[in-house]
Amino acid sequence: MNFTVEDILFGVSVLLFLSILVSKSLGRLGVPALVLFLGVGILAGSEGIGGIYFDDAQTAQSLGTLALTLILFSGGLDTRWHSTKPVLWRGITLSTLGVLITAVLVGGFVSYLLGFSLIEGMLLGAIVSSTDAAAVFSILRSRNIGLNHNLRPTLELESGSNDPMAYFLTVSFTFLLTNPDASLWDLVPMFFLQMSLGAVMGVVMGFVMAWTINRIKLEQDGLYPALTLAMVLFTFAFTNLIGGNGFLAVYASSVILGNKNFIHKRSLTRFYDGIAWLMQILMFLTLGLLVFPSHVLPVLGVGLLVSLFLIFVARPISVFVSLAFFKTTWKDNVYLSWVGLRGAVPIVFATYPMLAGLERSDMIFNVVFFIVLTSAMLQGTTLKLVADWLGLSLVEDSTKRVQLGEDLGYNTKNELVELQLGPGSSGVGKSLVELQLPKNSLIVLIDRGGKFVTPNGSTMLEAYDKLMVMVDNEEELKRVRETLL
């Protein structure tokens, strides 16, 4: 059957609408969005009610690569360096050594269980070895899950930076299976070359992006998203072209860019947040269409065993071993082990052996799909529950903040913070001159019952006043809170 452009656009629009509608309805029950999007894709597929036949692994892989690139870039833009710096080496260890340990353990188990060769088993282990950035970012941020002990930045850093390692292992083991004369030792220089080039290109392009956005002075504001998109795609493609890891370069560049001041920062961050959601939906829908449920059913038993081994054995061992030299509690490690969410990325990586024509590629793909589904349903729905059980939940700071200079490109770290006085607040009944606020802080506006008051030294504060306070840093904000509240 031949489809016109109009047919394709109509089908895409309907699938997008259904995905968002289902996500809004069932998301309240705690079901991860990625499972819902995959479900819509499966239902629309050749064995579902939609009857859309799709069996193009190359297209799915290409779309998945593009989607992952933009998702990583969006996640990096939201990564705050002051939160990430204390857990930098912890996250990097999890995203490299942890991924390797997971791949080896799962590989050995699969080799024993299914009679795979060790390299075939490790290929399957490599495919499912990384936690999924899209799943972790969307679940932690959309549900406002607050965590003690810097666990949230650790999880976000790990999920954003471990895909390059999993990608390297997947491509490398596929290469070994298609080239029997190659050796594992051939991978060592390849690893250091890819990672070093990816890291260097990421840092360089992060500074280049910030400098370009601030200096180019485009006449049309709408061109800035197009400019940054061009630089993101260039970063990924050029890094791969010179033998580096494009995923690592994109994530590193976005972290560098996200922690610098540049014009239209807020609007660009929101733009890429929307693009990331769109890419998630399209990726999950496409992969859902690619799955044939009749092919997955025969591997349910095997898939369940591998999935349980990954969740309850391989992931915990990799976390506890990786963090053995860091100051973490056993509760921290247990929770980090539980948030080993697998999403659409392993399914994308599972298309590499399919395109390479490996003998067991179909079975690997179907087992990986079942592992992803199990992980999302079991772990994705219980993140908050497990955090509460371990006593690691943290009440999120809901204070409204405005970063001064983000949209104007000024080099300033000042923030406008909204604070509301209660009837028992210590600032009530005092004039501003009596408060003795920190030297560099300033109350710039008062919202009093919907009417704005311009403050001066003699202004008396009243209960339920909403104050817009300018502060320089978190320590200063803490002192302001103590003085006013």
How far, CA to CA in Å, does 125 sit from each of 99, 167, 368? 9, 12, 9
User: Which residue from 362, 365, 311 is spatially nearest to 338, judged by alpha carbons?
Assistant: 311
The better pLDDT of the pair 64, 148 is held by: 64
As a whole number of angstroms, the distance between CA 353 and CA 173 comes to: 9
pLDDT at 62 over 60: yes
- The conformational region for residue 72 under phi > 0 = left, psi -120 to 50 = alpha, else beta, is alpha
pLDDT for residue 21 is more than 80:
no
C-alpha distances (whole Å) from 187 to each of 92, 127, 165, 251, 261 are: 20, 17, 12, 23, 39
pLDDT greater than 60 at residue 405:
no
The domains of the chain, with CATH numbers, are: 5-389 (1.20.1530.20), 414-484 (3.30.70.1450)
Summarize the confidence of residues 412-417 as an average pLDDT: 73
Least confident range from 95-104, 198-207, 214-223: namely 214-223
Rounded Cα–Cα distance for residues 121 and 109 (Å): 8
pLDDT tens-place string over residues 136-151: 666 665 555 556 667 8
pLDDT per residue as tens digits for the range 245-301: 999 999 999 999 998 888 888 889 889 988 988 888 888 788 888 888 888 888 888
- The rounded mean pLDDT for the chain is 84
Instruction: Mention every residue, 6+ apart, whose C-beta is less than 8 A from residue 114.
Output: 121, 302, 363
Calculate the dihedral angle through the C-alpha atoms of 282, 284, 290, 294, rounding to the nearest 10 degrees. Answer: -150
pLDDT at 409: 52
Which of 82, 73, 80 is CA-nearest to residue 271?
Answer: 73
**Inter-residue contact 75 to 252 (CB < 8 Å):** no
* Residue carrying structure tokens 């606020």: 437
d(CA 135, CA 371): 14
For residue 148, give the DSSP letter.
Answer: S
pLDDT of residue 3: 66
Q: At 163, is the pLDDT very low, low, confident or very high (cuts 50, 70, 90)?
A: confident
Least confident of 26-30, 105-109, 324-328, 344-348: 26-30
The DSSP code for 147 is B
Torsion angle of the four alpha carbons 22, 299, 303, 128, in this order, in degrees rounded to the nearest 10: -80
230/253 Cα distance (integer angstroms):
13
Distance CA 311, CA 342 (A): 10
According to the per-residue pLDDT averaged within each range, which of 14-18, 69-73, 227-231, 429-433 is highest? Answer: 227-231
pLDDT score for 127: 93
pLDDT of residue 157: 84
| Tens-place pLDDT, residues 306-343 | 999 999 999 999 999 999 988 888 988 998 899 888 87
By residue count, the chain amounts to 485
Q: What is the pLDDT of residue 345?
A: 83
What residues pair up with 447 in beta bridges, in sequence order?
A: 452, 466
Q: According to the model, what pLDDT value does residue 103 have?
A: 94
pLDDT for residue 69: 92
Question: Looking at residues 417-438, what average pLDDT do you find?
Answer: 84
- Contact at 8 Å (CB) between 34 and 135? yes
Q: How many CB atoms lie within 10 A of CB 449?
A: 9
| Phi and psi angles of residue 439, each rounded to the nearest 5 degrees, phi first | -55, -40
| Residue 240, pLDDT score | 94
Q: Are 120 and 360 a contacting pair, CB within 8 Å?
A: yes
What is the edge-to-edge ordering of all strands in the sheet holding 451-453? Answer: 401-403, 415-420, 466-471, 442-448, 451-453
- Structure-token pair, residue 320: 């506890």
Q: What is the pLDDT of residue 145?
A: 57
Instruction: Please tell me the predicted confidence (pLDDT) of residue 138.
Output: 63
Distances (CA, A) of 482 to 67, 398, 400: 45, 17, 17
- How deeply is 181 buried, as exposed, middle or buried, from its count of CB atoms within 10 A (0-12, 13-18, 19+)? exposed
| Nearest alpha carbon to residue 133 among 309, 342, 331 | 342
Distance of CA 152 to the CA centre of its chain: 11
Q: Which of 78, 127, 83, 140 is nearest to 275 (CA)?
A: 78
Tell me the chain's radius of gyration from C-alpha atoms.
25
CA 148 – CA 332 distance, rounded (Å): 9
Q: Which of 24-38, 302-316, 407-421, 460-474 is predicted with the least confidence, judged by mean pLDDT?
A: 24-38
The contacts of residue 300 (CB under 8 Å, 6+ apart) are: 370
380, two tokens:
């994705």
Q: 403 forms bridges with which residues in the sheet?
A: 415
Q: Is residue 106 scored above 90 in pLDDT? A: yes
pLDDT for residue 100: 94
pTM of the model: 0.78
Token couple for 209: 């992006």
168-214 pLDDT, tens digit each: 999 999 999 998 887 878 888 888 999 999 999 999 999 999 999 99
pLDDT at 353: 92
Q: Does residue 121 surpass a pLDDT of 70?
A: yes
